[in-house]
Amino acid sequence: MTKTHVKFAAVAAVVAATVVMASLAAVAQNRTFSPGAANAEWKTYGGDLRSTRYSPLAQINKDNFSKLEVAWRFKTDALGPRPEFNLQSTPLMVGGVLYSTGGTRRAVVALDAGTGEMRWMYSLNEGKRGEAAPRQLSGRGLAYWSDGRQERIVYVTPGYQMIALDAKTGRPVPGFGRNGIVDLKLNNDQEMDPVTGEIGLHAAPVISGDVVIIGAAHLPGSIPSRRDNDNGYVRGFDVRTGKRLWIFHTIPRPGEPGIETWEVESAAEQSGNAGVWAQMSIDEELGLVYLPVELPTGDYYGGHRLGDGLYGESIIAVEIKTGKKRWHYQLVHHGIWDSDIPCAPILADIVVDGRMIKALAQPSKQGWVYVLDRATGVPVWPIEERAVEASTVPGEKASPTQPFVTKPPAFAKQGVTIDDLIDFTPALRAEAVKLAARYKLGPLYTPPVASKWEGPLATLMMPSTTGGANWQGGALDPETNYLYVYSSNQISDLALIESDGKRSDMRYVRGTAPNPAAPPAALPAAGAAGGEAAPPVLVQGLPLVKPPYATISALDIDKGDLVWQVAHGETPDNIRNHPALKGLTIPRTGRIGRIGVLATKTLLIAGEAGFFTTPSGQRGAMLRAYDKATGQEVGEVYMPAPQTGSPMTYMLNGRQYLIVSISGGTYSGELVAFRLPQDATTTN
């Protein structure tokens, strides 16, 4: 840990060092550890309300990880009218029962945590409301609540209804809302269509005391249908009755703080989105919930919402019981890069220069971890406002400066230069340079361009519009304050075209200019490249950027240092077998995806994204374990499909279980439980 500066030269160095070490030892003993994991359960989505994704369990370790066997499996095919192929759920385990969402109707199941046997299942058929939902499928999880007598499971349906279920029976709780259901499209300080209103949620609710807090999500914002989209306000509800307790307007209303950051006040009233689609974190001692907010409508053009635009792309600390704002910090001013905050802030008690700080560490799409004092919102290390390039898109007015993190260092590549382009062979490098000449290259926060076929066709942006970090976030070891983050290194081509006025009333939407020489029938629809992410820019089917394509990084957030970084995921088959690379030795490249990590007493655990052919000839993915201190891989276990939900762990009847959601391609959603053979277990 960092030594305290000696203020008085007369103090002997040995005495000063002794005082510092004693002080830091006392501080370390006072650090708060994961309460959910302490009793071997997993009671909240992030392992605890601090979103550490940490467990002190150690029965599964570096010496036996590769001996893990499948304890049970649970297929989700029957939990909806058709199979799901993107199961992202992180289950909970309480009292020997595992709770999870699953299936295309987002059913809730209770399973025996030792055998996987179903105890109960609840499913709500929402009809057209569910079919029209912007956030469908099984979502990322649910919440558990108990007052010692009652036990409840709370979750949000695709159609944006909050349901409270009796945890023992799976039946809706009669005294909650109407027959156990609260319609979240009502009592929301705005009018919206109950069926087609563009609002939903993938994230799990978060509960503290008797307050359940609900965010909001929308469709991806490349081509929003209307600039006055539904607003993603955040609300607190009574977990016993479902009554709304408070609402926080993530887009300020006239007279509210933050409205002055919109150059035209009416633009705030005519804008939408600004939801909290990510997980939230809670400090119960401070009585605060931390809201990671996305940007207002739309993701890449801000000409209709000039100004810095609070509370877009901001972290907001509000009181759990009242919703009253304590502080906010804006990560991006007037966002036009879709750099919305995608994951839960991670709460840590850190020691900087001998001083304990209740900190918040926010992984981001930009590849930074923003470290703030979570009581005040003040940066722990300087975050500097630096000049960035102006936009040339008509009607746009980008912020002249953006906040730049100085510590810790970036965990992902930022910006695109010629040096970043593929260089496996001279021929591939030359082709990459020729391709890149059609695009605009530049550092982080280089603005999108109005696309021209003759060039620039688009701005090449890295990290891509999906990160960097994304919804899976990171994991924190509270004993060392090492923060672990999976990240993708991928290029997005970011460009705007004039809207045709049919699909969107925005002046510009995401898209690339068509080839004017192409026959009219071959011309793509305006904005055809729009979507959550445009197709990657490739050279002979290979990524334009050098590997590694995906990494796991360890950051010491006491010191603000990068400790280690490794490529995560075996090299994809299409790269290993590419004819242009024949005869070359390609180090492990990592595989792009959205991978959650799990930290235990001795290991860092993460599955791979995407399929590859294993040395045994099986097609699938590996669940990998790393030494937390060094990043050295210490074990692997085969999975028939990639990891698509973040892993979790628990202890039951003296045996540690590791649960992973897998799916992808033609492999439908499945929960897989691993444990050691009986003769390989050791005492935790």
Domain boundaries, the chain: 31-680
* pLDDT band for position 29 (cuts 50, 70, 90): very low
- Residue entry with tokens 């999880």: 141
Mean pLDDT of 136-149: 97
State the CATH class of domain 31-680. Answer: mainly beta
Identify the helix (H) or strand (E) that includes residue 405. strand 401-405
* pLDDT band for position 679 (cuts 50, 70, 90): confident
- Residue entry with tokens 């729009």: 530
Residue pair 642/614 in contact by the 8 Å Cβ criterion: no
Mean pLDDT of 97-106: 98
b (16+ CB within 10 A) / e for 167-201: beebebbeebbeebbbbbbeebeeebeeeebbbbb
Query: pLDDT tens digit string along 625-676?
Result: 999 999 999 999 999 999 999 999 999 999 999 999 999 999 999 999 999 9
Query: pLDDT tens digit string along 214-273?
Result: 999 999 989 999 999 999 999 999 999 999 999 999 999 999 999 999 999 999 999 999
Query: pLDDT tens digit string along 659-672?
Result: 999 999 999 999 99
pLDDT value at position 680? 79
How would you class 677 by CB atoms within 10 Å of its CB: exposed for 0-12, middle for 13-18, buried for 19 or more? exposed
* pLDDT band for position 537 (cuts 50, 70, 90): confident
Over 50: is that where the pLDDT of 528 sits? Answer: no
Over 90: is that where the pLDDT of 27 sits? Answer: no
Query: pLDDT tens digit string along 200-212?
Result: 999 999 999 999 9
Query: pLDDT tens digit string along 282-312?
Result: 999 999 999 999 999 999 999 999 999 999 9
- Residue entry with tokens 């490529």: 567
Looking at this protein, which amino acid is placed at residue 439? Answer: Y
Q: Which residue has the higher pLDDT, 8 or 542?
A: 542
For residue 290, what are its two tokens?
A: 């931390």
For residue 395, what are its two tokens?
A: 């009607």
* pLDDT band for position 39 (cuts 50, 70, 90): low
**Under 8 Å CB-to-CB from 387, ≥6 apart: which residues?**
400, 401
- Residue entry with tokens 């068509």: 514
**Taking Cα atoms as reference points, which of 317, 248, 243, 245 lies closest to residue 287?**
317
* Alpha helices per DSSP H over 120-210: 128-131
Greatest distance between any 2 Cα atoms in the chain: 83
Looking at this protein, which amino acid is placed at residue 128? Answer: K
How big is the CA angle at 576 (ends 572 and 581), to the nearest 5 degrees?
135
How would you class 261 by CB atoms within 10 Å of its CB: exposed for 0-12, middle for 13-18, buried for 19 or more? middle
Over 70: is that where the pLDDT of 17 sits? Answer: no
Mean pLDDT of 356-369: 98
Mean pLDDT of 525-553: 74
The chain-wide mean pLDDT, for the chain, equals: 92
For 629, list phi and psi in degrees, rounded to 5: -80, -30
Edge to edge, the sheet with strand 211-214 lists 206-208, 211-214, 234-238, 244-248
**How many CB atoms sit inside 10 A of residue 574's CB?**
10
Mean pLDDT of 490-513: 95
Pairing of strands 648-652, 69-75: unpaired
Edge to edge, the sheet with strand 69-75 lists 69-75, 667-675, 655-664, 648-652
CA distance 314 to 498: 28
